[in-house]
Structure 1
Amino acid sequence: MISITDAQLNTWLISFIWPLTRILGLIMVAPVFGHRSVSATVKIGLGVFLALIISPALPPLPDVGLGSWQGLFILLQQLLIGIAIGFVMRVAFAAVEAAGEIVGLQIGLGFASFFDPQSAGQTLVLARFFNLLAMLVFLAINGHLLLLGVLVDSFQTLPISLQPVAAAGFFKLAGYGSTVLAVGLQLALPLIAILLMTNLALGILTRSAPQLNIFAIGFPITLGVGLIVLDILLPYFAPQFEALIHNALKTAVAVTVALRP
């Protein structure tokens, strides 16, 4: 007859539940993995599969009860670590969407919006298009595998322990939020400059020929020029998205290092 002691059962549970919590925290907020079109069953199944693979290679775990206050503290801490790693990549995608919002408003497609189930709000068509393009680049460069690699390495860089994580990691994560506006403006700047010159030309034309109805011809000209320029610049967006994703992965590693007590 096989007998299992309470200590053995607790050891098996903590070696599975704690890493699973960190993994599910990342899957919950990371791009692609955390998309609403991915069912909860698939997310939990992927998390369990990864936890079963990772748990045998974990460093020694604290000898505390899973249901104790110390065990619950570790559980909450692992969830925050996973969310922090996934949130870094979410910020990178938010910067891409911000670029699409800026471009759409400058072209004149601010009215072309629809309900996005991912953000549970109205999203401009161009912002959604940029997000899909960034997601394709993310998958093409195996960004999802690189992100999982960062997660696996975090168990060595930031092992599961009773020590609280350092606040410097969360400050670094908050500082990375400036990427949303900075990168969004950098991506949209070429098109903004061309549309600015187009609006200046329309202004000069209006002053020289006041009988022209600028509201009747200005919108189609701005929209046409914007779409043409966007078509020309589109091949140059993919390398920028790739560099942004690699930078986000490096930031995720830096955040895990900064979280180390």
Structure 2
Amino acid sequence: MFELSDAQIGSWVSSFVLPLFRIAALLMVMPIIGTQLVPTRVRLYLSLAISVVLVPTLPPMPLVDSISLQAFMFIAQEILIGVMLGFVLQLFFHVFVVAGQILAMQMGLGFASMVDPANGISVPVIGQYFTMLVTLLFLAMNGHLVVFEVLAESFLTLPPGSGLQVDHYWEIATKLGWVMGAALIIVLPAVTALLVVNIAFGVMTRAAPQLNIFSIGFPLTLVLGMVIVWISMADILSHYQALASEALIMLRELARAS
């Protein structure tokens, strides 16, 4: 009869299950793969496949009793690391979502919303357009491969059972407030142009009070807003490269032990 000892079970848990939880946590939270567009079963199968490929290349894991409190603490630590890595990527994607929402509100298109199939919520059309644009750019520039590379390196720089340094992660957390600032930088030229348009309509209303500004200004603001968005797309790639580099560098710093 085939029997497994406690040491063998503990070795199997530490060598395969601990990396699996970190990989699965990242895939459940990160954009694109962690959205509602990808079924949970597919994400679990992908986590198993990555674990099978990655585990033989990892250094020896610490032995732990499979049903002890220490094992549950190690599993919780791996889930926390994976969630933090995915959360940084979510913040990077939401920079463009917030930028689209700010721009839509300024051009009077905030009422035109649609259901985001990735998150299951209603967002302005401009925000959804920016989301699809950054998703395509992220995949076209192999950003997902860089994320998997950082994930593989994290098992060397931050092996399971090594413990988390609170000061290091608190320092990283203080840098995550760049979402709103980065979104404002992206849409600042367009918002400034729309502000000039609104000021011009205000001057027209002051000069000719009998002019119905709502029937003229609202559709004209929409048309000029679409033209401004079209012109601003010429500079979106430079903003994406700068923000993507900052987000991936932050992701690599997060995966460091110190």
- TM-score by structure 1 length? 0.93
Pairs within 5 Å for 1:139-158: 139-158=139-158
Pairs within 5 Å for 1:37-116: 37-116=37-116
**CA displacement 1:98-152 (0-9 Å, x = unmatched):** 0000011011111001233433432111111101100000001000000010100
Percent identity between the two aligned chains: 37
CA drift at 1:173: 4.1
Structure 1's unaligned 5+ residue stretches are none
Instruction: Tell me, yes or no, if the aligned pair for 2:36 and 2:120 is still in contact at 8 Å.
Output: no
CA drift at 1:171: 1.9
Are residue 135 (structure 1) and residue 128 (structure 2) matched?
no
Q: Which residue identity is paired with 1:225?
A: L
Match of 2:220 in 1: 221
**Bigger relative contact order (CA 8 A; separation at least 6):** 1
Q: 1:172 to 1:127 in 2, by over 3 A?
A: farther
Match of 2:252 in 1: 253
Match of 1:205 in 2: 204
Instruction: Tell me, yes or no, if the aligned pair for 1:84 and 1:173 is still in contact at 8 Å.
Output: no
Question: SS at 1:210's partner residue?
Answer: coil
Instruction: Tell me, yes or no, if the aligned pair for 1:89 and 1:245 is still in contact at 8 Å.
Output: no
Which deviates the most, 20-29 or 8-17?
A: 8-17
Structure 2's unaligned 5+ residue stretches are none
**CA displacement 1:39-79 (0-9 Å, x = unmatched):** 11210111011111111122221121122100110000000
Match of 1:187 in 2: 186
**CA displacement 1:192-238 (0-9 Å, x = unmatched):** 01001111111111122222111111111111111001111113212
Q: Which residue identity is paired with 2:55?
A: S
Runs of 4+ in 1 over 3 A off after TM superposition: 1-6, 117-120
In 1, Cα distance between equivalents of 2:175 and 2:25: 19
Are residue 28 (structure 1) and residue 28 (structure 2) matched?
yes
CA drift at 1:3: 6.0
In 1, Cα distance between equivalents of 2:242 and 2:95: 13
Give the aligned CA root-mean-square deviation in angstroms. 1.6
Question: SS at 1:176's partner residue?
Answer: coil
In 2, Cα distance between equivalents of 1:214 and 1:115: 31
Question: SS at 2:119's partner residue?
Answer: coil
**CA displacement 1:153-197 (0-9 Å, x = unmatched):** 101110112x43011343234323312101110011010010011
Pairs within 5 Å for 1:154-193: 154-161=154-161, 163-193=162-192
Instruction: Tell me, yes or no, if the aligned pair for 2:9 and 2:66 is still in contact at 8 Å.
Output: no
In 2, Cα distance between equivalents of 1:81 and 1:169: 13
In 1, Cα distance between equivalents of 2:142 and 2:108: 35
Match of 2:241 in 1: 242
Instruction: Tell me, yes or no, if the aligned pair for 1:31 and 1:89 is still in contact at 8 Å.
Output: yes
**How many positions carry a matched residue from both structures?**
258
Instruction: Tell me, yes or no, if the aligned pair for 1:88 and 1:176 is still in contact at 8 Å.
Output: no
Instruction: Tell me, yes or no, if the aligned pair for 1:64 and 1:71 is still in contact at 8 Å.
Output: yes
- TM-score by structure 2 length? 0.94
Instruction: Tell me, yes or no, if the aligned pair for 1:104 and 1:127 is still in contact at 8 Å.
Output: yes
Q: 1:173 to 1:128 in 2, by over 3 A?
A: farther
